[in-house]
Structure 1
């Protein structure tokens, strides 16, 4: 069975996911409440359950190229940063700023704070 997100219905209100089986030709539509996901992720962050919150945010961001105007990028970055995964945090802070420049001041500040992350130490010598 495959899962495919069809659409984000209005800004931060609901998501619709269609479950289908190509063999049986069966389709079942299940609505998701974006606000419920957000409340759960926020509570998980309060409990220090950053990985669980991250999984919710990644689910919400899947198939949403704007990342809800950068909000999800900022939220994903916050989770990665709290878990000490600075390289991933920098990437997602950057996505938040790209999607809505000037709006996500916390992501802009995080990008300045994190700065350059060199990779030379990872390179294999020939």
Structure 2
């Protein structure tokens, strides 16, 4: 009796996970980065290059938790890089890992790796940033 219950539990868990993936990812074959250590390693020390709501993201994820907008670079006299907030990783058994961004308010994003090597950032079940690229260091996206 226990084996059928365990088997059914695994089946139901797999079904729910599949639906959650489909609800957030628009690309077949995408995989959610749900492990906190893997997500931190993915983002730490990298610049996320993407677009959301017509705005370009060039956000450097400093390993110390500071979040920097690259703008035109640290040495640019007119539009230099500046710290715009902080970032961290939060994780729970139920929801897996999310990247937490603190500007004036907090935002939590689940991160999905697409089959083309790019990344989608989702807030709940809504796709917020599609096709972001990650670049090593505090660098320009152009």
Give the alignment's TM-score, normalised by structure 2.
Answer: 0.22
* Greater relative contact order, per chain length (Cα 8 Å cut-off, separation 6+): 2
More strand by share: 2
Structure with a larger share of its residues in helix: 1
